Structure 1
């Protein structure tokens, strides 16, 4: 990725949120994941090496969404142990097809989390749709969000992310009002049962999905009571706009919008997703490794540093720990460490 000269920090902080409209330019497409052009064909061999220790403490921790390729055994405890060996800092448990984790596994994850210093988050099942028009599916979606948060709490983690749902041809104001009621009720239910996990609906990669940055920052401001936040997936924001939001200045506007709407503390406990991504006119197609995508991660990291951001960066690239180490190394280089 070619180097770009960053705008002065002062200029970035004065930019304000403005209208979150990407810079006008010719659309750019993410490249294929492999020579065959399909995700999942690439194999990952070799042993990744930990990065040198930073010269100063990391304010952003990096890790994987899912079990690292080199974890043995390839389960949740093995993932936490392996990420600790690699000097990474975050593990996001992927409950893709359902929240299935035994109590004894939760206890082991919690123990290993304490031993290694790894922070644990979770991604809820992909079947969640809190705007389903079928009551049975809506009830099941509520249960999946709650179960994700409960399992994460038993593991000693925080930050349960999920895709909230789809517009399904309805007006965006109608869907927003419905989502506000649903997410407020879920946050209240968790608080009432003593579950302190924050639920973090994720910015989504397609226009057909609820979850623009505007919608989620509004939700966190209007419905949040301390346990409703946001997962900011910068790759999804880039894909949703068909190649926009990929410059230092645009990343700065995103962060400034979050700060103005949700407060400075929202930048001090961020839940971030980052990967390479393939996209088109309808938005996200699939994830890519960062070196096979046009995702401008170095300028994003610069903006995060300049805005004083802290929190967790979960890498969802197919390469998982290989890319998480690339991102961590770039962050430390840019951060002077």
Structure 2
């Protein structure tokens, strides 16, 4: 399958809440990917990461990691920027031991600054992070995520520009976030194609052959994202997203962040397989 599907975190039906048990459950469910959620801090030790990574390799489950939420590369306080960089690096180090291919994170807030000012700062700070990881031989891809609120830095154009400026960086495109950020736009086949086309034109084959997406239902208002919803309770046209991905020949991973994690991830996978059979 050219796109792998999985859950943001351990499936809810997993016998235990450990990452390792989650990987085994993903395989039982017939899926191929899981995002390890370090959103409240990286609390996994190296020996545990090594064992868990071994299980993922054996079960052929692709892993990615979500770095802690407390990241803002545009903070007015230097120590907060340094702490943010440390969180990304720590996630990347454990991610490498796990065998994860990507580290997803929310890059920054505008905090009253212009898009160009924030972009320059994010590029500078991420270049430092990348340099440190490269010196360690850590080739894990850093993936700034498109964000769900207009107050957060990270629309599609900004996210593509970071990846153009810093080697070893590619976007995590969260379709639900883009839909919520624009208060209901980006919800048709043509709009999804435009998103993919803009990214493919900006980043080329290195992205189209290794894309990373988040999809879930989402509740939103004029200020953007409110909360994730079950696919069937939301207006996001996920079928059209997957159809657009097929049209563009996209390869990569779709991670589902719905409250019904594996249920909705399986719906996405089944929908994709049906569309692929028709294609």
Deviations 1:198-217 (A, max 9, x none): 10000000010011110011
Question: What residue is the counterpart of 2:8 in the other structure?
Answer: 65
Residues 157-199 of structure 1: CA distance to partner in whole angstroms, max 9, x if unpaired? 1110000110111122111111111111111211111111110
- Tell me what 1:17 maps to: none
Question: CA shift at 1:302, angstroms?
Answer: 0.3
Aligned counterpart, 2:148: 205
What is the deviation of 1:333? 0.4
Distance 1:148 1:244 in 2: 33
| Alpha-carbon contact 1:77-1:105 (below 8 Å) kept | no
What residue number does 2:162 align with? 219
Q: Which runs of 5+ in 1 are unaligned?
A: 1-57
Residue equivalent to 1:25: none
- Asked whether the 8 Å contact 1:121–1:158 carries over to 2, the reply is yes
Map of 2:90 onto structure 1: 147
Q: Per chain length, whose mean CA-contact separation is higher, i.e. which structure has more relative contact order (CA < 8 Å, sep 6+)? A: 1
Q: Could you tell me how far apart the structure 2 residues matched to 1:156 and 1:218 are?
A: 27
1:103 deviates by 1.8
Taking the TM superposition and a 5 Å limit, the aligned residue runs for 1:64-213 are 64-213=7-156
Q: Which has the larger radius of gyration?
A: 1
CA shift, 1:139, in A, is 1.0
Q: Which residue of 2 aligns with 1:328?
A: 269
**In structure 2, what is the Cα distance between the partners aligned to 1:330 and 1:154?**
33
Q: Is the 8 A contact 2:85 2:126 kept in 1?
A: no
SS in 2 for 1:73: coil
**Residue 272 in structure 1 maps to residue 213 in structure 2:** yes
Q: Cα deviation per residue 1:6-38 (whole Å; 9 max; x = unaligned)?
A: xxxxxxxxxxxxxxxxxxxxxxxxxxxxxxxxx
Distance 1:328 1:102 in 2: 32
Match 1:315 to one of 253, 256, 277? 256
**178, 182, 193: which one aligns with 1:241:** 182
**Structure 1 stretches of 4+ moved >6 Å:** none
**SS of residue matched to 1:284:** strand
Instruction: Using the TM superposition, give the Cα deviation of residue 154 of structure 1 relative to its aligned residue in structure 2, in angstroms.
Output: 0.5
> Mind listing any 5+ residue stretches in structure 2 that lack a counterpart?
none
The 1-side partners of 2:116 and 2:57 are apart by 43
In 1, Cα distance between the equivalents of 2:104 and 2:46?
A: 21
Secondary structure of the residue aligned to 1:88 is: coil
**Count of residue correspondences:** 278
